[in-house]
Structure 1
Amino acid sequence: MDALETDQNVVVTNEPEVEEGVHNYSAESEWVKPTDPLILERIEWFKDQKIGLMMHWGPYSQLGLVESWALSDADGDWSRGGVDWTEDMEHFKREYVDLNKTFNPIRVQPELWADLAAEGGFKYLTFTTKHHDGFCMWDTRTTDYRITGSETPFHMHRYADLCKHIFDAFRSRGLAISAYFSKADWNTPYYWAPGMERGQHMWRGPSYDPTKYPWLWEKFIKFTHDQIEELLTRYGRIDMLWLDAGWVRGGERKQDIRLGEIVDRMREHQPWLLAVDRTVGGPYENVVTPEQTIPKRAMHIPWESCITMGTSFSFKYEDTYKSGREIVHMLLEIVAKGGNLALNVGPQPDGRLPEGAIRGMKELGAWLAQYGEAVYGTRIVDPYFQDGYAFTRKGDNVFCFKLYKTADSAMKQELHIPYQGPIKGVQWYDDGSALEYSRMDAGVKVVLPEQALQGAAPIAHVIRLVTA
């Protein structure tokens, strides 16, 4: 995404809200600091976590294509490629909607997923309870288009209420729960109402003008509020309500669902609840969410980059997955700039996680098991991320990471670290031994121990700068 950089190091994006299914993100200036002390406390908690596992999963995984978007005719030019589509798109849409009739992920193992997430060092789960296509992955009473619906073959399985079993498994491993929920719903007749103004040519918004049909829009508001209430009163502790479809908003969009009303009411049940009304700004976007991108500069607000481990949010056949080195480098850049990483894995249609994703998760976990102290619970420190170095701060320590792009990268014993702050000592993180150092105009010169230069280049050399 292109961006404009201001003198205050604020990133202000100037692209469309959604481009080929990838969402833009709110400017730092649009973030509104909450006034509730508990919500402020939970924001600090969120900033401590650093890495969450995101999962896009539903009947669409059977296609191996991008989730939901092929239903929108206005987005068909980019979302319907790679297959010999029929020219009768109404027939295709019916086929897509009928994917629930073949969705039967009998190899899903929520406990195994949770074990892999814990081993990978993840601290919270963001799970798609419902994407734009409207299929619900919980036992909702609002629609038959759900995982426990009689048309879905999985509905008699012991894990049929997927959200319940997945949430319970992850909580039992100490991970927090973030419930992804699309405010748009392309299945309910209260949003995409047949025979309305748009005819058959659909887009991501409603098929009618809500100001002309307020009675129908009120039905959609109630439908949406009822679904959110189910998730937040029947499925245990939810730490974050992660709301997608930023075009569903008031003002010139004419799609006010009175979100504050339902969030405030749900906070009576779950007072710690963070809300992520992404790309909307204002008091209910407690966390800003860049998608498939990392801001050019540090942002001094709570934010989270949601980035895929492969090339797609939903499962894609024969996808390629990022290596542990790539994931760690991405994580370090994000954390150094003040954010969290929501690393997305799309489960297979049979319920298993792809082997390439599992491999990356395990490599990430092995690295965090050794160096997690320098990542979790840290805060940003100048110069953040610069010249192949990432920096974090915790108490009297500043952690410096020298990143190596490949295992055969050249290593030098003398590092010129661009850190200008006070230093009282420098330590080799791996064993705590003191390192030789001296001040320079551009920062500090540090001499690595001989053992640091043996063998292949690591993912990163980690150095502790003692500041007090």
Structure 2
Amino acid sequence: MAGASLAQSTAPTAATLSPHDADLIWQKATAKFEPERRALLSDVDKGISQGPFRADWTSLQSYQAPGWYDDAKFGIFIHWGVYSVPAFGSEWYSRLMYKQGTPEFAHHVATYGPQSKFGYKDFIPMFKAEHFDPQAWAKLFHDAGARYVVPVAEHHDGFAMYDSKLSEWTAAKMGPHRDVVGELSKAVRAEGMHFGVSSHRAEHDWFFDGGRQFDSDVNDPRYAGLYGPAEAHLAKKDEDLYNDWTYVSQAWLDDWLARTTELINDYHPDLIYFDWWIGHPTFRNTLPKMLAYYYNQGAQRGGVVVNYKQGDFVAGAGTLDVERGQLTGIYPEHWQTDTSISNASWGYVEHDTYKSPQELIHLLVDVVSKNGNLLLNIGPRADGTIPEDAQRILLAMGGWLKTNGDAIYATRPWRVFGEGPTEVVGGTFQDTKTKPYTAQDFRFTTKNGVLYAIELGWPAGGKTVIHSIKPGDHVRAVSLLANGKRVDWQQQADGLHLSLPAKPVGDYAYVYQIELAP
């Protein structure tokens, strides 16, 4: 397909193609999959009828995440796909290469030629994944201390990283010719970790709409199976869920439900992460069906997890995810934050920079102290190798967790999450706004009657005070978790005073194991 020459002079554009017509072109391109789609939708109806969850929000609010997830604390997210080939800008290259005036558009024309001659589809043969080793990936994630792994099964670009029966545009049939999700599921579970998937397909309804505005391969009906309806997205900003009248057909909703069901049936994920556009009003009747079906299946094996964000669900019907952000205090329900190990992108891009192990360990500690999990993303290269800097950072985190994991895994929040001068900026997309922590910043967790006080810096002079531990908290013993060495302590009116032994190996965060009298 690379370099295909397309006759586009009479192709429809957004100016001539109505939303209804755009959807019909996509429907025609995918009509051959209709029998399988209908069979999957029938599975949903049967699964809902078998309970215990019904397809309504009142019933879905009885959702409860399984214990393994509450205990896991740390997972790995993976953004890997065709967008890893251009490795420019971000994983949204697939959209922005068709948005006139963007750096991605200019880069694409200068590097590959006009989008009428070389479109996104032409990257697929270049996505060979020749060094993809799922067992090596899984071992790395295990050694990093992760307890669950969540690859993106399908990004907004519409290219499935699994063996779908509803599309020919899949990694199993093109590019790598491998069922990436299937191979990863086996490798991850063989390492004793839980396996999830992420679906971003909801946004695909409009993701390539920029290509409707000029002479591009998006307008060629031969490729509608990949590019989708490419409906004109009417929100002023892509993240604006509200006052957005983007056209979404029932056929598209049915296909979204069938594709999600296919992932559930074929890969039995322990967790599904959904990106934000499932909160669009047109999904209000379809979304509860999917949740009821998945929760009913999961109930047979101890429960499953669904991550949602930006108010897409009724509170309590899933697990809240705060994208690239944190919460300012202890959240009563278990929650999750997801962020990328890299600073610029979720997918691999050349010349990217990375967060430090200390920054990520401090983020993990802060999130866990507030009743949350950290889902940390990596972006492998198109050939299937994981950047060396990312590997180094993951292994550094794993080394810290191997020593200090008792203060993280299976813990619960204390009466306060922490103390100290450094304040977190709450909300989504705030992860770059928090200042570095100091030796006066502590975070607290508890487990089996033990209080863990995690100091986010080594104090000058080897002395520190934990002000949140009051005289009424009867301390029995204090030790450094890293090496078990006893810590001299004294309770005073202003808190617990510690005189520390030599600084333990590791420069990230220091855990005091504090035994309290019942």
Structure-1 separation of matches of 2:288 and 2:392: 41
Structure-1 separation of matches of 2:131 and 2:111: 35
> Are residues 132 and 367 of structure 1, via their aligned partners in 2, closer, same or farther at CA, if it must alter by over 3 Å?
same
Q: 1:72, CA displacement in angstroms?
A: 5.6
Bigger shift: 328-337 or 425-434? Answer: 425-434
Q: 1:266, CA displacement in angstroms?
A: 2.9
What does residue 413 of structure 1 align with?
462
What does residue 102 of structure 1 align with?
126
Structure-2 separation of matches of 1:264 and 1:397: 38
> Are residues 100 and 191 of structure 1, via their aligned partners in 2, closer, same or farther at CA, if it must alter by over 3 Å?
closer
Q: 2:296 aligns with which of 238, 253, 268?
A: 268
- Write the deviation string for residues 178-211 of structure 1: whole angstroms up to 9, x where unpaired: 21001222476799526x6679x996899x9677
- Write the deviation string for residues 61-118 of structure 1: whole angstroms up to 9, x where unpaired: 1111311365169977667388365699982796223322221001000000001111
Q: 1:153 aligns with which of 170, 175, 197?
A: 175
Equivalent residues in 2 for 1:140-179, closer than 5 Å: 140-149=164-173, 152-155=174-177, 160-179=178-197
Q: 1:127 aligns with which of 125, 132, 151?
A: 151
Q: Counterpart of 2:277 in structure 1: which amino acid?
A: W
Bigger shift: 433-442 or 308-317? Answer: 433-442
3-state SS of paired residue (1:415): strand
What does residue 325 of structure 1 align with?
358
Q: 1:221 aligns with which of 250, 253, 256?
A: 253
Contact 1:137 1:162 (C-alpha < 8 Å) held by counterparts:
yes
- Write the deviation string for residues 250-304 of structure 1: whole angstroms up to 9, x where unpaired: 54xx344611112212333332222223221315752111122222333222211
| TM score, norm. by length of structure 1 | 0.78
Structure-2 separation of matches of 1:205 and 1:326: 30
Q: 1:249, CA displacement in angstroms?
A: 3.2
Structure-1 separation of matches of 2:106 and 2:460: 43
What does residue 11 of structure 1 align with?
none
Structure-2 separation of matches of 1:54 and 1:64: 18
What does residue 370 of structure 1 align with?
403
Equivalent residues in 2 for 1:239-254, closer than 5 Å: 239-244=270-275, 246-251=276-281, 254=282
Structure-1 separation of matches of 2:233 and 2:337: 34
Q: Counterpart of 2:354 in structure 1: which amino acid?
A: Y
Q: 1:327, CA displacement in angstroms?
A: 2.1
Structure-1 separation of matches of 2:129 and 2:454: 41
What does residue 456 of structure 2 align with?
403
Contact 1:205 1:248 (C-alpha < 8 Å) held by counterparts:
no
What does residue 7 of structure 1 align with?
none
Higher helix share: 2
| Residue 137 (structure 1) aligned with residue 161 (structure 2) | yes
| Residue 278 (structure 1) aligned with residue 298 (structure 2) | no
3-state SS of paired residue (1:177): strand
3-state SS of paired residue (1:296): coil
3-state SS of paired residue (2:503): helix
What does residue 466 of structure 1 align with?
515
Q: Counterpart of 1:184 in structure 2: which amino acid?
A: E
Q: Counterpart of 1:128 in structure 2: which amino acid?
A: V
Structure-2 separation of matches of 1:107 and 1:230: 27
What does residue 291 of structure 1 align with?
323
> Are residues 119 and 93 of structure 1, via their aligned partners in 2, closer, same or farther at CA, if it must alter by over 3 Å?
farther
> Are residues 210 and 290 of structure 1, via their aligned partners in 2, closer, same or farther at CA, if it must alter by over 3 Å?
closer
Structure-2 separation of matches of 1:79 and 1:54: 27
| TM score, norm. by length of structure 2 | 0.71
| Residue 438 (structure 1) aligned with residue 490 (structure 2) | yes
3-state SS of paired residue (1:318): coil
Structure-2 separation of matches of 1:448 and 1:440: 17
3-state SS of paired residue (1:313): coil
Structure-1 separation of matches of 2:106 and 2:366: 33
3-state SS of paired residue (1:231): helix
What does residue 180 of structure 1 align with?
198
Q: Counterpart of 1:440 in structure 2: which amino acid?
A: Q
Q: Counterpart of 1:452 in structure 2: which amino acid?
A: K
Structure number with greater Rg is: 2
Structure-2 separation of matches of 1:33 and 1:374: 35
- Write the deviation string for residues 232-261 of structure 1: whole angstroms up to 9, x where unpaired: 1112x31111111x233354xx34461111
The alignment yields a C-alpha RMSD, in angstroms, of 3.4
Bigger shift: 301-310 or 163-172? Answer: 301-310
Contact 1:135 1:146 (C-alpha < 8 Å) held by counterparts:
yes
Contact 1:74 1:204 (C-alpha < 8 Å) held by counterparts:
no
Structure-1 separation of matches of 2:461 and 2:184: 46
Q: Counterpart of 1:425 in structure 2: which amino acid?
A: R
Question: Which structure 2 segments of 5+ residues have no match?
Answer: 1-56, 209-223, 421-440
Q: 1:333, CA displacement in angstroms?
A: 1.4
Structure-2 separation of matches of 1:412 and 1:230: 59
Structure-1 separation of matches of 2:101 and 2:148: 35
Bigger shift: 283-292 or 438-447? Answer: 283-292
| Residue 337 (structure 1) aligned with residue 370 (structure 2) | yes
| Residue 238 (structure 1) aligned with residue 257 (structure 2) | no
Contact 1:190 1:220 (C-alpha < 8 Å) held by counterparts:
no
Same amino acid, percent of matched pairs: 21
Contact 2:347 2:378 (C-alpha < 8 Å) held by counterparts:
yes
Q: 1:448, CA displacement in angstroms?
A: 1.0
3-state SS of paired residue (2:184): helix
Contact 1:400 1:464 (C-alpha < 8 Å) held by counterparts:
yes
How many residues are matched? 411
Structure-2 separation of matches of 1:411 and 1:202: 48
Structure-1 separation of matches of 2:278 and 2:113: 25
